[in-house]
Amino acid sequence: MNKLSMLAVLALVILFFIISSPWLTPSTINSIVASAIESSQEDMVDGCGMDCNGCGVKKVEKVAFGSIAKIEFACGLIPEDLPEYHEEARVFISFLGTVHQVGEKRIPNF
Domain ranges (residues) in the chain: 3-102
Spatial CB neighbours of 79, under 8 Å, sequence gap ≥ 6: 85
- How far, in Å, CA of 21 to CA of 11, rounded? 15
Give pLDDT, residue 6: 92
Which pLDDT band holds residue 44 (cuts at 50, 70, 90)? confident
pLDDT in tens, 60-100: 999 999 999 999 999 888 888 888 889 999 999 999 999 99
- How far, in Å, CA of 31 to CA of 49, rounded? 12
What's the whole-model pTM score?
Answer: 0.84
More confidently predicted of 37 and 46? 37
